Amino acid sequence: MLVLEDGRSFTGAAYGARGTTVGEAVFCTAMTGYQETLTDPSYHRQVVVMTAPHIGNTGVNDEDVESRRIWVSGFVVRDPARRPSSWRSLRVLEDELADQGVVGISGVDTRALTRHLRERGAMRAGVFSGDALREPTTGRRLEPSELLVRVLDAPVMAGADLAGEVTTPEPYVVEAVGEPRRGVDGRPMTVVALDLGIKSRTPWHLAQRGVRVHVLPATATTEQVLALSPHGVFYSNGPGDPAAAEHEVGVLRDVLARRLPFFGICYGNQLLGRALGLGTYKLVYGHRGVNQPVMDTATGSVEITAHNHGFAVDAPIGEPFDTPFGAAEVSHWCLNDRVVEGLRCLDAPAFSVQYHPEAAAGPHDAGYLFDRFCDLMAAPDRTPDTPSPASPSRATAEETD
């Protein structure tokens, strides 16, 4: 049984591990990439509802994982595949969920559930199966109202500082692939990436561009970042409320004050907003999927992008605004609801986007952002709004029309 915090409940069949799980119920509109979704640390403490009806068709492999484990608290699907049918499949999805202790439910009317969350907003939910559905001493089946008590005891997402729960326990290095790219000082280009819930595909993209990436825990200090003499600093995606991330914002302000090139995605975008003095707020049901249209204000082009966020930056769209580090502006916004999807500093080498340019899983429209970051590190006196002569030209709005 699935029980929402407003009292609505859904029955279905146990899927994955049996037992109890609670978390924030959210829906993901991606039709592919369920393995990347499950292993995305940004979904920590969330019960994920998949809107695509058939899940598990391609099984599980060892190449598409984005971190060291499955992070979702619970998994809700409509029609699980009876057997996988992919030459890359090594294991069955339900077995993988069970092995990692992820409690799920299948046979749920996910269309009705998604409509409910869209209209009422993301909310706490619990999934109960097996012995968790019965009173321990008498074996009596528990009523939804009795299970609701456990749901209401779960913590809410607002105010949650979760990066420390998903970050790497120890620093590690992803070496550059092929000939290293050189910085303006002639040294091999080096990036320090703060792991706030990083996906493995992100440092891979930088490494493919000849950049060496030092991945540090979220608790890393300014001194630890500077000790590595980086050409740039990167903030990853991650779970939780950006308003609670005081330490990470403090380090980022030190980075901006030293004019170190900075690039942030998702959670990193929200933290750049906070470092610039902007506020953040919780979205009603968030953006989660690989089909979100985003407008690039500099070119007028539209990118189809991968998203996973429940919070957003509060910033004016269409006009520059002042910050402690000079002027800045909104660089991207969502065509569905005008949510801010990117920030660009006009007087400092720093920018960020709210979506996933590493495209794991998702479209590749935003891959150029890694090139933009490399351009900044190669000539840090530039700012992100200055076109790079080495970058490929992009279609304008008129050309697109």
Instruction: Write down the catalytic residue from 266, 334, 345, 374.
Output: 266
At residue 388, the pLDDT reads: 42
Annotated catalytic residue 266: yes
Kindly report, residue by residue over 238-278, the tens digit of the pLDDT.
999 999 999 999 999 999 999 999 999 999 999 999 999 99
At residue 385, the pLDDT reads: 61
Does residue 35 have a known ligand-binding role? no
pLDDT over 80 at 392, yes or no = no
pLDDT over 80 at 312, yes or no = yes
Q: Which residues does residue 6 pair with via DSSP β-bridges, in sequence order? A: none
At residue 22, the pLDDT reads: 98
Give the angle 309-205-215 at the CA atoms, nearest 5°: 75
- Residue 328 one-letter amino acid: A
Does residue 238 have a known ligand-binding role? yes
At residue 361, the pLDDT reads: 81
Spatial distance between the Cα atoms of 218 and 215, rounded to a whole number of angstroms: 9
Does residue 292 have a known ligand-binding role? no
Annotated catalytic residue 246: no
pLDDT > 70 fraction of the chain, expressed in percent and rounded:
96
pLDDT > 90 fraction of the chain, expressed in percent and rounded:
91
pLDDT over 70 at 395, yes or no = no
pTM, two decimal places: 0.93
Does residue 310 have a known ligand-binding role? yes
Kindly report, residue by residue over 364-391, the tens digit of the pLDDT.
888 899 999 999 999 877 777 644 434 4
Kindly report, residue by residue over 35-72, the tens digit of the pLDDT.
999 999 999 999 999 999 999 999 999 999 999 999 99
pLDDT over 60 at 147, yes or no = yes
> Within 13 Å of residue 339, how many CA atoms lie on the same side as its CB?
26
Does residue 42 have a known ligand-binding role? yes
SS (H, E, C) the chain: CEEECCCCEECCEEEEECCEEEEEEEEECCCCCHHHHHCCHHHECEEEEECCCEECCCCECCCCCCCCCCCECEEECCEECCCCCCCCCCECHHHHHHHCCCEEEECCCHHHHHHHHHHHCCEEEEEECHHHHECCCCCCECCHHHHHHHHHCCCCCCCCCCHHHHCCCCCEEECCCCCCCECCCCCECEEEEEECCCCCHHHHHHHHCCCEEEEEECCCCHHHHHCCCCCEEEECCCCCCHHHCHHHHHHHHHHHHCCCCEEEECHHHHHHHHHCCCEEEEEEEEEEEEEEEEEECCCCCEEEEEEEEEEEEECCCCCCEEECCEEEEEEEEECCCCCEEEEEECCCCEEEECCCCCCCCCCCCCCHHHHHHHHHHHCCCCCCCCCCCCCCCCCCHHHHC
- Residue 80 one-letter amino acid: P
Instruction: Write down the catalytic residue from 205, 329, 356, 374.
Output: 356
At residue 206, the pLDDT reads: 97
- Residue 347 one-letter amino acid: D
Does residue 27 have a known ligand-binding role? no
At residue 390, the pLDDT reads: 41
Domains, the chain, with CATH or none: 2-152 (3.50.30.20), 163-400 (3.40.50.880)
At residue 379, the pLDDT reads: 84
Does residue 145 have a known ligand-binding role? no
Annotated catalytic residue 356: yes
Kindly report, residue by residue over 323-370, the tens digit of the pLDDT.
999 999 999 999 999 999 999 999 999 999 999 998 888 888 888 999
Kindly report, residue by residue over 211-238, the tens digit of the pLDDT.
999 999 999 999 999 999 999 999 999 9
